[in-house]
Amino acid sequence: MDRTERFYKIDQMIHERTLVSFAQLQEALEVSRATLKRDLEYMRNRLNAPILWDREAGGYRFEQSTGASGASYELPGLWFNANEVHALLTMQHLLENLAPGGILTPHIQPLMARLNNLLGASRHSAEEVRRRVLIVAATRRTLPLAHFEKIGSALLGRRRLQIRYFARGSGATTEREISPQRLVHYRENWYLDAWCHLRNEVRNFAADSILHLDILASPAREVSAQMMNASLGPGYGIIANGKVQWARLRFTPERARWVAQETWHADQRGKVDAQGNYVLEVPFSDHRELIMDILRYGADVEVLAPPTLRARVAGEATRLMELYSR
């Protein structure tokens, strides 16, 4: 990390832990003793950071009388007007809720503290943003912060990952080496698109199914955007498997009012027929996720094509009827 990033990390750690030892700071920043000393001196003397060495407690803390966010203390690079601050507070709230436990929160908290101060006497504080902006995540799964950080580091540093992966579909656990290509946030969960050196092809991994991972020294294999899109992009949803087909769905006029405004796929085609039904066509290569979305609409949607998809949906509907008729 560069010098400015280290300043934010120091600020974050002291805010979160109240008291941080020199060794803890050095380990987190991965710098020499001399570099850390220079950083602390710069923050105290040039940025007016109220950082004190508490000899009795054996660590660094913020001076209580001034506070970590006093008017004279400002981390570099934060010059915003009131409107920009309000927008940033809202964005932070959205980012904080992208993952369970606020996966990005530890990295954004120092910024939040400064934004609150910049607002001054404004009525629209961060607390007001949280109270007025409600974000409901219905199906997200837990992802450890450490995993997220390592994935991001390997992804941007172009390094391979050694992972132990649990495939929920088969129940199998495998060890494999992968070259991360892109991180995808889809329906409240994180997925990692990568070149799998075990299978020798592009694969998609649910980040929360990675049980353990280590960053390797080996450079990541680069995969072109064209190849990534050809492997994972054409089909419906996050699952890519097999030849791409087109599903043709007809929704009742009542449901058409909603579905006509929805995006099921970037390449979808839709139109309203003479009876007011909405006919939607979407490409898919794996039926599983598409069937789940179709079944959400119950009798308000009919699968017109292809016949194989129509049969599968009918089969699932029959299973449901049998289940609830017991």
Which CATH number is 31's domain given?
Answer: 1.10.10
Q: Would residue 70 count as lying in a domain?
A: no
284: which 2 tokens? 């898919």
66: which 2 tokens? 């001034």
Q: What is the mean pLDDT of each run of 10 residues along the chain (326 residues)?
A: 82 90 94 94 89 93 64 59 64 60 58 59 58 68 78 92 93 96 86 94 92 95 88 68 87 94 92 96 91 93 96 93 86
Q: Would residue 228 count as lying in a domain?
A: no
129: which 2 tokens? 């943003």
Domain identity same for 172 and 112? no
Domain identity same for 250 and 289? yes
Question: Tokens 């927008």 map to which residue?
Answer: 87
pLDDT tens-digit series, residues 255-285: 999 999 999 998 899 999 999 999 999 999 8
Q: Would residue 279 count as lying in a domain?
A: yes
- Cα–Cα dist 64/115, whole Å: 20
Q: Would residue 55 count as lying in a domain?
A: yes
Domain identity same for 170 and 206? yes
Q: Would residue 8 count as lying in a domain?
A: yes
Question: Tokens 């060890």 map to which residue?
Answer: 175
Residue closest to 283 by CA, chosen among 249, 239, 233, 234: 234
pLDDT at 115: 61
- Cα–Cα dist 286/163, whole Å: 25
**Antiparallel, parallel or unpaired: β 301-305 and 51-54:** unpaired
- Cα–Cα dist 26/59, whole Å: 12
Domain identity same for 58 and 124? no
**Antiparallel, parallel or unpaired: β 245-251 and 278-284:** antiparallel
| pTM assigned to the model | 0.61
- Cα–Cα dist 112/75, whole Å: 12
State what percent of residues in the chain have pLDDT above 70. Answer: 74
Neighbours of 303 (CB within 10 A): 20
- Between 307-324 and 287-295, two packed helices, what is the crossing angle to 10 degrees? 50
pLDDT at 69: 44
- How many separate domains does the chain show? 4
Range of the domain at 13: 3-62
Neighbours of 44 (CB within 10 A): 15
Residue closest to 77 by CA, chosen among 158, 22, 164, 4: 4
pLDDT at 290: 93
Which CATH number does the domain housing residue 189 bear? 2.30.30.530
What letter represents residue 94's amino acid?
A: L
Q: Would residue 235 count as lying in a domain?
A: no
Q: Which residues contact 221 (CB under 8 A, 6 or more apart)?
A: 160, 179, 195, 197
Helix (H, G, I), strand (E, B) or coil at 205: strand
Helix (H, G, I), strand (E, B) or coil at 248: strand
Residue closest to 245 by CA, chosen among 290, 278, 277, 298: 290
Domain identity same for 153 and 214? yes
Domain identity same for 12 and 54? yes
Question: Tokens 């009876």 map to which residue?
Answer: 275
Domain identity same for 128 and 150? no
- Cα–Cα dist 208/139, whole Å: 13
State the burial class of residue 163 (Cβ atoms within 10 Å of its Cβ: 0-12, 13-18, 19+).
buried
292: which 2 tokens? 């789940």
Q: Are 116 and 69 in contact (CB under 8 A)?
A: yes
Q: Would residue 39 count as lying in a domain?
A: yes
- Cα–Cα dist 321/285, whole Å: 27
Domain identity same for 305 and 266? yes
How many helices and strands in the chain, by DSSP H and E? 11, 11
Q: Would residue 250 count as lying in a domain?
A: yes
223, 258, 289 — which closes off a domain?
223
